[in-house]
């Protein structure tokens, strides 16, 4: 042994593994078995080179990543397919040029056959400029309008002298376009009876004006039709000083291609939109809102509707990916070490780690725990009460010549303040254990 042997530190902790010999060496008088060539008793069986380097081959990388690449390819193919399907000549919901189920090309064609020309506009300024005494201005999504757009449409309502049709406006849109009207909840019935003397309603009969918004108003001269639960789903507000009037439709169903042939939907739509020779079909968009509305908005208000559903889908996708790539839990697998390690070396290595990090509390805990377990076995304390001071301390004190010693502080005390106190604690624990063994 050399003179630079480390001083006693937490190396006093119990050895984690039994002492074994070092392969290929033999030390006389130490009890270490000598080992030699492979095949000699006590010689570890040679193992093939580690497969860690082989795991980085292209074939292994492909096996590890192919699932992710296949999933990514499927997502890209789906995105390209959807983009190709949506890049045709079809337009959006309630667009008079769209033949889709939720488009409105059918009603536009019927109006054209009756001599009504339809002009599609996408900004409030274009809609206000095109509105006049001989036109009907249809606003398909009033809730999408910003302050500037609402003011522009309101000016058109007051000055144009024509008819304005607002499709399912909400509370915010009503405050700027029809202040005398308020929302009254949702109509859950789909088909409703006219319930009023309006010529367009009585001629059309029952129509799909339900399944949308209901309204309430105290403005005099207002015609309320197609009631649901006591609240109308169609309102015709009295004419302004310029001769124009405003119609509120609580549902867009009567304008959709898929529903136009049901009940009296076509008749009601033609009579409400065909009273003037010109129809201005205004399709608001988020792009217009960004360009024309300078109102400051919060970050959440700028996020498009439905973002929370997209966030939920991303969260679920991330969770599924984590489950897919996570390690499979199972029983522990024992692995043979390529070389044998002396127990003393492992003990000294752990002690050096404790000393390097000044982990005297951890070292003291290890020493006390091991001593308590050995003492409990010697004095007959059950394993369930090994670390219970009330059970262990009296049993140990009964085996000592001086039972008045403070065993609680020794076996369950606080962490040592310095290395010297830690070494002293190890000595006292050894002395206590020897005394109990010899008693």
Query: What are 7-17's pLDDT values in tens digits?
Result: 444 444 444 44
The Cα–Cα gap between 31 and 374 comes to 26
Q: What is the pLDDT of residue 294?
A: 52
| Residue-wise pLDDT tens digits, 271-286 | 999 999 999 999 988 7
Whether the predicted pLDDT of 106 surpasses 80 = yes
394 and 285 within one domain: no
In sequence order, the 6+-apart residues with CB closer than 8 A to the CB of 176 are 145, 147, 150, 151, 154
CB neighbours of residue 428 within 10 Å: 15
Whether the predicted pLDDT of 111 surpasses 80 = yes
- Domain final residue, candidates 290, 322, 357: 290
DSSP letter for each residue of 273-299: H-SSSEEEEE---HHHHHHH------H
Angle, CA 309 vertex, CA 303 and CA 313 arms, to 5°: 120
The Cα–Cα gap between 106 and 299 comes to 39
**In the block, which residue shows the tokens 């910003």?**
146
Q: What is the pLDDT of residue 297?
A: 61
Q: What is the pLDDT of residue 39?
A: 42
Q: What are phi and psi of 154, to 5 degrees?
A: -60, -40
358 and 262 within one domain: no
Q: What is the mean pLDDT of the chain?
A: 81
Residue 208 lies in a domain: yes
273 and 157 within one domain: yes
Query: Residues of the chain with pLDDT > 70: what percent?
Result: 80
**Domain housing 393:** 342-438
Tokens of 301: 């208000």
- Report the pLDDT averaged over residues 25-44: 42
Q: What are phi and psi of 15, to 5 degrees?
A: -70, 135
DSSP letter for each residue of 388-421: -HHHHHHHHHTTSS-TTS-HHHHHH-PPPSSHHH
125 and 268 within one domain: yes
Q: What is the pLDDT of residue 57?
A: 81
The Cα–Cα gap between 415 and 417 comes to 6
Residue 303 lies in a domain: no
User: Strand, coil or helix: what is 178?
Assistant: coil
207 and 147 within one domain: yes
Of 291-300, 302-311, 376-385, the range with the highest mean pLDDT is 376-385
Residue 74 lies in a domain: no
Tokens of 176: 């700027």
Angle, CA 320 vertex, CA 319 and CA 321 arms, to 5°: 90
In sequence order, the 6+-apart residues with CB closer than 8 A to the CB of 6 are 348, 351, 352
Residue 9 lies in a domain: no
- Domain final residue, candidates 271, 290, 309: 290
346 and 284 within one domain: no
| Residue-wise pLDDT tens digits, 135-145 | 999 999 999 89
Residue 3 lies in a domain: no
219 and 118 within one domain: yes
Residue 32: pLDDT band by 50, 70, 90 thresholds? very low
Count the domains in the chain: 2
């Amino acid at each position: 042994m050399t003179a630079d042997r480390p001083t006693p530190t937490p190396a006093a902790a119990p050895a984690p593994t039994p002492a074994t010999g070092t392969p290929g060496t033999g030390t006389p008088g130490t009890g270490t078995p000598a080992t030699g060539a492979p095949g000699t008793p006590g010689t570890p069986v040679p193992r093939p080179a580690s497969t860690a380097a082989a795991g980085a081959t292209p074939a292994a990388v492909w096996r590890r990543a192919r699932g992710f690449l296949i999933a990514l390819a499927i997502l890209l193919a789906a995105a390209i397919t959807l983009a190709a399907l949506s890049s045709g000549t079809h337009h959006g919901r309630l667009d008079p040029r769209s033949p889709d189920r939720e488009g409105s090309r059918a009603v536009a064609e019927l109006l054209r056959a009756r001599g009504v020309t339809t002009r599609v506009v996408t900004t409030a300024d274009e809609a206000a400029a095109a509105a006049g005494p001989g036109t009907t201005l249809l606003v398909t999504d009033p809730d999408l309008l910003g302050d500037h757009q609402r003011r522009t449409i309101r000016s058109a309502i007051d000055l144009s002298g024509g008819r304005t049709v607002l499709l399912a406006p909400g509370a915010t849109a009503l405050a700027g376009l029809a202040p005398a009207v308020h929302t009254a909840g949702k109509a859950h019935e789909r088909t409703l009876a006219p319930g009023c003397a309006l010529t367009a309603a009585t001629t059309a009969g029952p129509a799909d004006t339900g399944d949308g918004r209901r309204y309430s108003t105290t403005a005099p001269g207002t015609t309320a039709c197609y009631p649901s639960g006591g609240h109308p789903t169609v309102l015709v507000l009295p004419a302004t000083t310029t001769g124009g009037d405003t119609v509120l439709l609580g549902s867009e169903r009567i304008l959709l291609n898929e529903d136009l042939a049901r009940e009296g939907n076509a008749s009601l739509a033609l009579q409400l939109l065909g009273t003037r020779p010109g129809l201005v079909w205004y399709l608001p968009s988020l792009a217009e809102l960004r360009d024309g509305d300078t109102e400051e908005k919060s970050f959440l208000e700028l996020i498009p509707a439905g973002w929370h559903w997209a966030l939920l889908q991303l969260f679920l996708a991330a969770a599924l990916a984590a489950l897919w790539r996570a390690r499979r839990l199972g029983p522990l697998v024992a692995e043979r070490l390529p070389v044998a390690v002396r127990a003393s070396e492992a003990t000294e290595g752990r002690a050096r780690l404790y000393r390097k990090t000044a982990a005297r509390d951890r070292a003291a805990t290890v020493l006390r725990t091991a001593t308590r377990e050995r003492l409990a076995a010697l004095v007959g304390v059950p394993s369930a009460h090994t670390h219970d001071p009330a059970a262990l301390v009296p049993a140990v004190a009964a085996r000592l010549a001086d039972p008045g010693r403070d065993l609680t502080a020794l076996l369950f005390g606080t962490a040592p303040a310095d290395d010297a106190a830690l070494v002293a604690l190890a000595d006292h624990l050894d002395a206590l254990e020897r005394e109990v063994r010899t008693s």
